[in-house]
Amino acid sequence: MWVPFLFLLIGVGLGLLTDFSIPELYSNYLSIAILAAMDTLFGGIRAHLEKKFNQQIFISGFFFNISLAVVLTFIGQQLGVDLYLAAIFAFGLRLFKNISIIRRYIFRLPNKK
């Protein structure tokens, strides 16, 4: 379980070390992409705990969700409607749900259902 965590740190280090930064204009997209990625990650962890993990679903979901969120944000910005709120809402809601389920597994709390 600690290998992914290590990779998270490596990722942060890589991001900080490489002199790569995006313009302020696109920070919106990046934040929404991070949210989407986190949502998929926690979804994957939950699926793993429920022993329903499917690698294809995880990988496709990871990239598809990120792209969808970014595209939604882009369209929203073009239309002048804050569509990214929809993405934040959906992802945020699911994030909390997934984390609560993960919590039940980790602390061996009784499941709601």
Query: Which residues make up the interface to other proteins (CB under 8 A)?
Result: 1, 3-16, 20-24, 27, 30-31, 33-34, 37-38, 40-41, 44-45, 48-49, 53, 55, 58-59, 62
Shortest spacing between CB 68 and other proteins, in angstroms: 16
Distance CA 94, CA 105 (A): 17
Closer CB to other proteins, 28 or 77, in the complex? 28
Closer CB to other proteins, 5 or 79, in the complex? 5
Distance CA 2, CA 9 (A): 11
Shortest spacing between CB 28 and other proteins, in angstroms: 10
Distance CA 67, CA 29 (A): 10
Shortest spacing between CB 5 and other proteins, in angstroms: 7
Shortest spacing between CB 81 and other proteins, in angstroms: 23
Q: Classify 35 as helix, strand or coil.
A: helix
Distance CA 25, CA 19 (A): 18
Closer CB to other proteins, 55 or 79, in the complex? 55
Residues with Cβ within 8 Å of 101's Cβ and at least 6 positions away in sequence, in order, are 46, 49, 50
